[in-house]
Amino acid sequence: MNSPIQLQPDETFILNVGPQHPATHGVLRVKMEMSGEYIVSAETVIGYIHRMHEKMGEIKTYPQFLMNLSRMDYLGALGYSHGHVLLVEKACAIEVPERAEYLRVVMVELNRIASHLFWFGAFVMDLGGFTPLMYALQDREHILDMLEAVTGSRLTYCYFRFGGLYNDVDDQFITAARTFIPRMRKSLKKYRRLVTDNVIFRKRLTGIAPLSPEMCRKYGASSAVARGSGINFDVRRNEPYSVYPEFDFDVPVFHAGDSLARYMVRMEEIEQSLRIVEQALDKLPDGPVMAAKKPKLIKAPPGDYYQAVETARGSFGIRLVSDGGKTPYRLKLRSPTYSNMHLFDEACQGMLIMDALAFMGSLDLVIPEIDR
Amino acid sequence: MICDKTRQALADLFPPTTEPEPGNEEKPSEGARSNGLVERDYRVHGYHLDAQLDPGQLLAAVTILDELAFFLESITGVDWPATEEMEVVYDFSRYDFDLCRVVLRTRVNRNTPDVPTITGIYAGANWHERETHDFFGIHFVGHPHLIPLLLPEDADFHPLRKDFQA
């Protein structure tokens, strides 16, 4: 007796994507008002895995909060820790040995490559190709093994300390990193032949979800979302920190603004990160990896401090308000995907649903990092 | 230099009497301070310009920053129960090699924390304001959709207020 539902020509229906859906890569929900296959409007619902890291920042002392940062973004955790240690070192005027800073950059860049590789695999899988994920995970495994040997963990690192590093690297790590670079370059060629030059892949992405530079600015977008829209913005270049000015690397910028441009930016960034790792290993100075002079109890002088770093997902900002106590008075974490995801609602209007999911994949979302 | 340009543009908001005197600049920014524009040492604090304004001047200041092509980094709050005040902090930066980070801050009464929304100027302020409303209970007047974002939809508490007990 069930007759099919007849929709009126101008009638719309609500489609829930998520909170448990493979395309959302985590617990993210998008409430879409659909007219057939087309999205009329969308409302992103976040907060499903909100853990209130900012409150923990107020309760925990500075060193106790170190491990929280790597639990925000589980794919590119070291970039976030880097921002935190740089901020506290700036506030407390702690001098970091040069070797430690070089090694930080090596680790952050390796982590960035690992993050981009996982994104690459997952993104192509969103579009229906399964094999590239396996290749990407194989390459990523080499990085995780290297990082595990030095830091002790595979994803949620707690390697950076105020004033330096938890431990020094050994010759084995240097050798592994040096053999990884040519290996990864070879893989990049393979990815180019397998995925980037694939006609079906290109047709799915070219012209999809073009973002204007103006829209990126209104939403505060960064990373490949901004650089794919012709904005030459990379915190490593625009607001140099750590030892990044020492290295010769390019900031890839594409002007089309579509999903393919965002893809191209990230693939190009892997090569640039390899260049940075290569140069950092060449220039790696000898010496200690921990500051000799460091206060026993970390207390930031009263005032406001801000530090921005370029993580795998964009411009991560951390704002500290200190009243001179053992714990921060207020610690604000500005997560880059939060701003990048925010523009989805506006940008996906009028789009086909499968294009919108491809667009969502090109934003490189990590939900725990949005929800914090 | 964009910083000089921004400073001049923002200085118009403050009558000359409220300009900080040279002696005042050394004071730490903690606690209550009078409205005005202060230049900070970027190497220590990580930003260049720090403007504290009345909630009524906020939209004018944000419009100035919008015209100078700033983008919105984040919006957040700070609770100051000692002075019965709530502070709303806006971070701005630019996609440019001429670096200039601007912080706008405004203080409101803790019992009636009403601040005008800037979603009309920066669409991206929407989530940031909702988050600040979640955590501090700051009411952004005119916000199109001020419902909980990160907290549960029936949340009636504000966890980052200093008197919040879990």
The reply to whether residue B122 touches residue A218, judged by beta carbons under 8 angstroms, is yes
User: pLDDT > 70: what percent of chain A?
Assistant: 97
Peptide bond into A19 cis (omega under 30): yes
B14 pLDDT higher than 50 = yes
The reply to whether residue B46 touches residue A306, judged by beta carbons under 8 angstroms, is yes
The reply to whether residue B30 touches residue A303, judged by beta carbons under 8 angstroms, is yes
Mean per-residue pLDDT for B114-122? Answer: 90
Taking the CA of residue A352 and the nearest CA in chain B, the distance in Å comes to: 23
What is the ipTM score, two decimals?
Answer: 0.85
Q: Say if A309 falls within a structural domain.
A: yes
Taking the CA of residue A368 and the nearest CA in chain B, the distance in Å comes to: 11
- What tokens does A16 get? 């829930």
The reply to whether residue A334 touches residue B73, judged by beta carbons under 8 angstroms, is yes
Q: Say if A254 falls within a structural domain.
A: yes
Chain A hits for B29, Cβ within 8 Å: 302-304
Q: How confident is the model at residue A37 (pLDDT cuts 50, 70, 90)?
A: confident
Would you kindly state where each structural domain of chain B is located, as residue ranges?
Answer: 2-26+33-141
The sign of the dihedral angle between the CA atoms of A201, A206, A209, A213 is positive
The reply to whether residue B123 touches residue A304, judged by beta carbons under 8 angstroms, is no
In tens, the pLDDT along A145-172 reads 999 999 888 888 888 988 888 888 888 9
Q: How close are the terminal C-alpha atoms of chain B, in Å?
A: 48
Q: Say if A6 falls within a structural domain.
A: no
Return the H-helix or E-strand segment holding A299: none
CB-closest option in B30, B46, B97 to A323: B30
Q: Say if A1 falls within a structural domain.
A: no
Chain B hits for A87, Cβ within 8 Å: 46
Buried b (16+ CB within 10 A) or exposed e, B111-133: eebebbbbbebbbbbbbbbbbbb
Give the pLDDT confidence score for residue A14 in this predicted structure: 87
Task: Please give the residue that has the higher pLDDT: either A242 or A24.
Answer: A242
Mean per-residue pLDDT for A218-224? Answer: 89
Query: % helix / strand / coil in chain A, to the nearest 5?
Result: 50, 15, 35
The count of domains in chain A is 1
Q: How close are the terminal C-alpha atoms of chain A, in Å?
A: 49
The closest of A359, A324, A369 to A79, measured between CA atoms, is A369
Instruction: Check if B148 contacts A (Cβ < 8 Å).
Output: yes
Residue A349 DSSP class? T
A200 pLDDT higher than 60 = yes
Q: Say if A299 falls within a structural domain.
A: yes
B30 pLDDT higher than 50 = no
Rounding to the nearest 10 degrees, give the CA dihedral for residues A257, B67, B89, B27.
130
- The CATH code of the domain that includes A263 is 1.10.645.10
As a whole number of Å, the CA-based R_g of chain A is: 21
Rounded CA separation A368/A339 (Å): 14
Which CATH superfamily includes the segment(s) B2-26+33-141?
NADH:ubiquinone oxidoreductase Nqo5 subunit (3.30.460.80)
Q: How confident is the model at residue A7 (pLDDT cuts 50, 70, 90)?
A: low
- Pairing of β B49-53 and β B102-109: parallel
- What tokens does A250 get? 């390019």
Cα-to-chain-centroid distance, residue B143? 16
Taking the CA of residue A106 and the nearest CA in chain B, the distance in Å comes to: 24
Per the structure, the complete domain to which residue A92 belongs is given by: 13-366
Task: Please give the residue that has the higher pLDDT: either A250 or B37.
Answer: A250
Query: % helix / strand / coil in chain B, to the nearest 5?
Result: 30, 25, 45
Give the pLDDT confidence score for residue A185 in this predicted structure: 92
Q: Say if A154 falls within a structural domain.
A: yes
Mean per-residue pLDDT for A104-115? Answer: 92
Q: How many CB atoms lie within 10 A of CB A364?
A: 29
In tens, the pLDDT along A169-184 reads 888 999 999 999 999 9
Taking the CA of residue B127 and the nearest CA in chain A, the distance in Å comes to: 7
Taking the CA of residue B16 and the nearest CA in chain A, the distance in Å comes to: 25
Return the H-helix or E-strand segment holding A17: strand A13-17
Query: CA–CA distance from A238 to each of A274, A308, A315, A324, B41 (Å)?
Result: 20, 10, 11, 30, 18
Angle between helices A171-191 and A131-151 (to 10 degrees): 170
A117 pLDDT higher than 90 = yes
The reply to whether residue A233 touches residue B95, judged by beta carbons under 8 angstroms, is yes
CB-closest option in B44, B73, B122 to A90: B44
